[in-house]
Chains A and B, each alone.
Chain A
Amino acid sequence: MNLAFYPGCSLEGMANDYARSIIAVFEKLDVGLVEIDDWTCCGATAAHSLSDAMSVVLPAKNLAAAEKMGLDIVSPCANCFNRLTYSRKMLSKNIYDVPWNVTGKSKVHDMTRFLAQPDMISQIKDNVLMPLKGLNLVSYYGCQMVRPPRITGFTDYENPRTMDHIAEALGANALDWSYKATCCGASIGLGRRDIQLTLSARLIQKARQTGAEAIIVSCPLCQANLDMVQTEKGSQKVPIFYFTELMRLAFEGKACSIKNFRMHLTDPGPLLRKKALID
């Protein structure tokens, strides 16, 4: 089985760790990723807040390309997923003129939900070389992946569980906490940095109160935000992993190098060494 892979811009830049871990992980799974040729902006930056037409039309090129490939799309970035899904839904209403033919036959999957399907979970379990025993973590979904539910299709948006299921399949302890989809403040960062820092620092604090040693995410913006606040607030304690990074760690075991986490601001090394998960 193949999927059309839409990496999005973040994965080529600050979320490069995420991109590399995804590619490594999918090599072990029974699913092939075929990157969409000449993919373009999903519109998550300025476009969607300025023009609804733009927000529908921009992602349409990528949707059309995937349809030509005859594949469903998988999107690792929560923002891209949201924009692609929105566009696909709105295109069916025929409001805007779109230069590409999109019928809607290619579905858009967010990566966490795709990998949390029962058969994928069993594949993940089969591939675990080194269970992440004793690693206490909480999963953080943020806003774009689960909301608004009428776009994203999440039914358990108050308490999403996809990354928890994956973490448990890897042998880690996924702790329940109340802040899975509570705002991390990234969206208000440019205008009110003080609010952004308060909100993201609170998430770190609450995660620690819950007993988590790390947070797993799927959204590059959440990752950057939660990672950065620890630098700015001067206490780098809780590594923020992309969930696929931990999959790679569990799949590759001691063969997985600390260099794979090179773009992290909060160094995961001490934690992983303490848990004897990395040399």
Chain B
Amino acid sequence: MIPLQNNPVGKIMIVGGGIGGIQAALDLSESGFYVYLLDKGPTVGGTMAQLDKTFPTNDCSTCILSPKLVEIAGHPNIEIMTFCELLDLEGDPGHFKAHVQQKPRYINMEKCIACGLCAEKCPKKAPDLFNTELGKRKAAYIPFPQAVPLKYALDPDYCLYLTKQKCGLCKKICPVDAVEFEQKIETFDVEVGAVILSPGFELALTQKDGEYGFGRYPNVVTSLQYERMLSATGPYEGHLRRPSDGKSPRKVAWIQCVMSRDISRNRPFCSSVCCMHAAKQAVLTRSHLPESETVIYFMDVRAHGKGFDEYVERAASGYQVQYRRSMISQLYLNPQKDNLIIETFDHHLNNTQEEEYDLVVLSSGFQPGQGWKTLADRLGVSLNPYGFACGDFDEPVSTSRPGVYVCGVIESPKDIPETVIQAGAAASEASTLLSNSRKFLKTDENKSAGEETDEGKDAEHISKVGVFVCHCGSNIASVVDIPSLLSEIEKIEGVALAEDLMFACSAETQDRIAERIKKHGINRVVIAACSPKTHEPLFRKTLKQAGLNPYLVDMANIRNQCSWVHAKDPKTATAKAMNLIRAAISRAEKLEPLTEETYEIVNNALVIGGGLAGMTAALTIAEQGFEVHLVEKTERLGGFARNLTHTLEGHSPPKLARLLEDRVRSHDRITLYLNSELSEHSGYIGAFKGTITNEQKEHEISYGAAVVASGGKAYQPMEFNCGQDDRVVTQVELAKRLQKDPQWPKQLKSIVMIQCVGSRSETFPWCSRVCCSAAVKNAIAMKEINPDIQVIILYRDLRAFGFKELYYLKARRQGTLFFRFIPEETPVVYDDGGDLIVDFTDRSSHQEFRVKPDMVVLSEGIHPVSDNEKIAGMLKLSRTPEGFFLEAHVKLAPVEFPTAGIFLAGLAHSPRFVDEAIAMAKCAAQQAVKILCRDKMKTSPTFAVVDPDLCSSCLACVRLCPFGAPFINEDGVAQIVPAKCRGCGICPSECPARAISLRHSTDDQTVSEIDALLKKASLDI
């Protein structure tokens, strides 16, 4: 990707507001571009917003997604365009004209304050699509409480006014006159430089297909419906019930590969993620209902991701989830109980078994959504036969239309982390293309949050607290007795003003608050309303507008924590609200004005590792105009790819390595250090310092960000006589032999491949992800040269996920024989008087076999390189027990570390395919660019500070800090680098000398808050 020179438009359109679109939007807006984020629905959030928990950490999906939603909602460089669809695209990269169609919301976005009155009073019910039609919502609705933008909409298919010109109640009662029945479909053009398509997917299973009685039997649900059934915000409020009678299910079954790996439905590919979400759902079911029995019917357990096998193992042994290897063809209904009967064949007993279940979950495969094909055709984006826009091996997120990129499931079925990685990669492509139109991010406005105010003096003054109590329409006011609260608040010493507001968050109210602050000389503010998570930034801005330091506001969440959860008990809700407000006032009195600091950024990067990932990362950063130091410990570039021949799909990794090497060597912004290692590293995000050492000399360098791409290595097997018998080789060796001597298979009669060598074992529990494909690839290659050769693959689970399944199918059609074994019955390889013998037991037929192959090929796994330990120590990065690097968050921060400014790519993260490593490198590089494209770095004012007089230099903070922020300074006491501190609060609470305090959460502030909370509620209404 070479940046355009023709003054391109520095704006990007992202189509689809799921996690992929959101991540790409954040990456681009933080890289100095303006983003239009389109979604055809009323909100962004995508499928991830519908999920209950996520594997393998069982994190709440909403809890990890919501912060991202909040971030894009308030981002000045992101324009969210809901109900919008891209119709067509004219022009060339850098200068596209996008035709957009916007369907009406029938609610004025500017006016709507999301009070919810319209939905509350709306008389018409409609199927709740967010809850996968398992429940009803009103025709006036928000899809889910965390929706962004948080604006109501009218459903034109159900609204009585829009369908029959009747009702119109919402228009009459809307307090801000936001209902606009007259809105029409609009089309308009937007100038953009690049487009990212992230439209996501839908389940391939529909009621029309009738598969397994879905849509016919009430207790057969899809995997996505089951997510909603598990969710606390779902139709059953987190109490697991079955649809037919609302009873808790005792026995639940999952059927895997529904509308996946199914040739008769023309869906021969694997949907990649269903094995893991079924395991997760079964685990959650067992925790919801410990009495329940859970059974997963499957063909292969495809747990090919980082730590996935351990999760499946934990599901099976820790949660007693039963795994039964069987492809179920049909479900039978027991008409008496609405139960479902599953019939399987038992190999041991040699007969059929019937089992009855209360509920059956169908793990449906994915397909592109409605309208995608039309859009792709119009845009000139070519698709594979199943409608996916598969990227190339070396450009995994590019499409056939230059300047148009893809990410997420629309590229190929994938899970959340791989989607996030591709989103970052797509952002990097657009960012590189439009590099010359980047608006470098200025941090000036934040330089001094309250510089022009007199808040410095304020701290000495007697506090005058202004308390504003929000009605939130009727949200709070209908439960909490606000007049009583106000009269009670007025009695509290230090309160200068107590006032109620209909909507504390509406735009005109901000002016009113600012005016009151000035008029009454208020120097501390308490807002009793909703969550600070969503609204504190707004009120901080208002304080600034009123000339106060923005950190002098505190919020009491009397909506979520009082009126919502205690809606049936107004008295208690009011008493609790009073307590929360009292605590907030108490804390507010102790708040101190805080100032944000800034520092200069070093605008270049360090990349560790010169393999495919490292070279890609270096080029991605350098093409965008930043200097890169690329360190490679060996004498040559290319890493492990140099040892490979070709991929399953027929591409050549060594050729790609050579191409990248040429580009790296000729790039004038990349400084290459071969035979070199990073020997010292210090500093913090934006301002690192390090030393690169090679045999001759040392180079002192400084860098604002670093990418770790230290690679992986092939496991060197000692098993199965490998190394002693030259007829026993590895897949990599076999591939090389085939490349050197293409006719060689003609001399062979029989070959046996053994999978999972050095993977999924006691010593190394991970799946190496790529070895199944390597075996299939070499089997196909040999069969193509010599169709008569017998190829036997001994495997445990054949993990040809996504479209790799098509090659597995091809290998089977060519006659390659697949036999499954279990670890307890590992095949035996030995020499019998010169004959190579393999003995194995096939688990499907329970037969024992003996073959005399010419060769045995071992599918060796991918292991971490030993250098990781040293790099981890120096850069203070954490690793998994296996020795791969551990990312900040497995789902949403796959290329980040807890230590800011350092990023992760390629095999150093986990075993992966070339295209996945390339995408990851681009994503990691873009995270670095997000830092480098700023002039200054801002530090959060809420960092921990050490009182040097109290510090006893015990090192507790130094050892405990996950971010490496504390160090022992020249005076021999601990000091915390504000730029590294994340304000997590570990060190202040652990410091035995109580020498550390966290600004904005000081002991003083917290204790006074607690004291106020513990005072007996004086409000007795």
What residues of chain A have their CB less than 8 Å away from a CB belonging to chain B?
148-149, 155-159, 176-179, 182, 206, 209-211
Decide: A178 near B264, CB < 8 A? Known: A158-B210, A159-B213.
Answer: no
Are A178's CB and B332's CB within 8 A?
yes
Cα–Cα distance between A177 and B264 once the two chains are bound (Å) = 23
Contact of B333 among A155, A156, A157, A178 (CB under 8 A): A178
Q: How many A-B residue pairs have CB under 8 A?
A: 32
Contact of B330 among A149, A156, A178, A210 (CB under 8 A): A178
Q: Is B591 an interface residue (CB 8 A)?
A: no
Q: Is B335 an interface residue (CB 8 A)?
A: yes
Cα–Cα distance between A156 and B215 once the two chains are bound (Å) = 12
- A residues less than 8 Å from B216 (CB atoms): 159, 176
Decide: A179 near B332, CB < 8 A? Known: A148-B264, A155-B208.
Answer: yes
Are B213's CB and A210's CB within 8 A?
no
Are B211's CB and A158's CB within 8 A?
yes
> Interface 1/0s, chain B 988-1011, versus A by CB < 8 A?
000000000000000000000000
> Interface 1/0s, chain B 312-344, versus A by CB < 8 A?
000000000000000000111101100001000
Cα–Cα distance between A148 and B213 once the two chains are bound (Å) = 18
Cα–Cα distance between A269 and B732 once the two chains are bound (Å) = 75
Cα–Cα distance between A156 and B333 once the two chains are bound (Å) = 17
Are A178's CB and B208's CB within 8 A?
no
Are A182's CB and B335's CB within 8 A?
no
B342 to chain A minimum Cβ distance, whole angstroms, is 11
Q: Is B71 an interface residue (CB 8 A)?
A: no
B658 to chain A minimum Cβ distance, whole angstroms, is 46
Q: Known pairs A156-B210, A176-B333, A209-B335. 18 more at Cβ < 8 A?
A: A148-B264, A149-B264, A155-B208, A156-B208, A157-B210, A158-B210, A158-B211, A158-B212, A159-B210, A159-B213, A176-B335, A177-B333, A178-B331, A178-B332, A178-B333, A179-B332, A182-B330, A210-B335
Nearest-CB residue, chain B, relative to A198: B352
The winner among B211, B212, B335 for most chain A CB atoms within 10 A is: B335
- A residues less than 8 Å from B333 (CB atoms): 176-178
Cα–Cα distance between A148 and B265 once the two chains are bound (Å) = 11
25 interchain pairs, CB-CB under 8 A: A148-B264, A149-B264, A155-B208, A156-B210, A157-B210, A158-B210, A158-B211, A158-B212, A159-B213, A159-B216, A176-B335, A177-B333, A177-B335, A178-B213, A178-B331, A178-B332, A178-B333, A178-B341, A179-B332, A182-B330, A206-B332, A209-B335, A209-B336, A210-B335, A211-B335
Cα–Cα distance between A159 and B209 once the two chains are bound (Å) = 9
- B residues less than 8 Å from A182 (CB atoms): 330
Cα–Cα distance between A115 and B211 once the two chains are bound (Å) = 25
- B residues less than 8 Å from A178 (CB atoms): 213, 330-333, 341
Are B332's CB and A158's CB within 8 A?
no
- A residues less than 8 Å from B211 (CB atoms): 158
Are B213's CB and A158's CB within 8 A?
yes
Judged by DSSP, the binding face of A is: loop
- A residues less than 8 Å from B213 (CB atoms): 158-159, 178
> Interface 1/0s, chain B 170-211, versus A by CB < 8 A?
000000000000000000000000000000000000001111
B337 to chain A minimum Cβ distance, whole angstroms, is 12
- B residues less than 8 Å from A206 (CB atoms): 332
Cα–Cα distance between A134 and B803 once the two chains are bound (Å) = 53
Cα–Cα distance between A239 and B335 once the two chains are bound (Å) = 21
Cα–Cα distance between A105 and B397 once the two chains are bound (Å) = 47
Contact of B209 among A158, A176, A209 (CB under 8 A): A158
A173 to chain B minimum Cβ distance, whole angstroms, is 13
- A residues less than 8 Å from B212 (CB atoms): 158
Cα–Cα distance between A176 and B332 once the two chains are bound (Å) = 11
Cα–Cα distance between A234 and B216 once the two chains are bound (Å) = 34
> Interface 1/0s, chain B 145-158, versus A by CB < 8 A?
00000000000000
- A residues less than 8 Å from B335 (CB atoms): 176-177, 209-211
- A residues less than 8 Å from B331 (CB atoms): 178
Cα–Cα distance between A177 and B331 once the two chains are bound (Å) = 11
Nearest-CB residue, chain A, relative to B335: A210
Cα–Cα distance between A64 and B350 once the two chains are bound (Å) = 49
